[in-house]
Amino acid sequence: QAQLVESGGGSVTLGGSLTLSCATPGYAKIGACLGWFRQTPEKEREGVAVIYTVDKAALHRDSVKGRFTISYDDTNNTLTLQMNNLGPDDSATYYCAAKPAPKVCRYSSPTDFTTWGQGTQVTVSS
């Protein structure tokens, strides 16, 4: 599969919003688990949200529920993460990732994902 390419990171103030996008060429044609993960120098990479391309079933980690929304547009092969009400704990490098033909689709196992983007930085300041 082709490389994943993220875009949309940047700097925002507390309570602001950002939308991250990830080009996922080829994944619309196959069943895949697509996800957003984030990492800081102080923490291990953690899952934020995942979505299964076939039925669009999505899961979000508890700390972002009600604030972040993952979605997938299979007409243009784009994975999106809408982030609202951003807080300081949301500052991180965000990565999109893909796992083709998954038996399960969950954000708790980043090592299950086989293809990763280069990452995009999100900085939330007061």
Which helix (H) or strand (E) is 68 found in, with range?
Answer: strand 68-73
Look at residue 30 and give its three-state secondary structure: coil
CA atoms within 13 A on the CB side of 36: 34
What are the pLDDT digits (tens) for 51-97?
Answer: 999 999 999 999 999 999 999 998 999 999 999 999 999 999 999 99
Tokens linked to 97:
């990732």
User: What DSSP designation does 28 have?
Assistant: G
What are the pLDDT digits (tens) for 3-52?
Answer: 899 999 999 999 999 999 999 888 877 889 999 999 999 999 999 999 99
Quickly tell me which residue has 């083709």 as its tokens: 100
107 CB neighbour count, 10 Å cutoff: 23
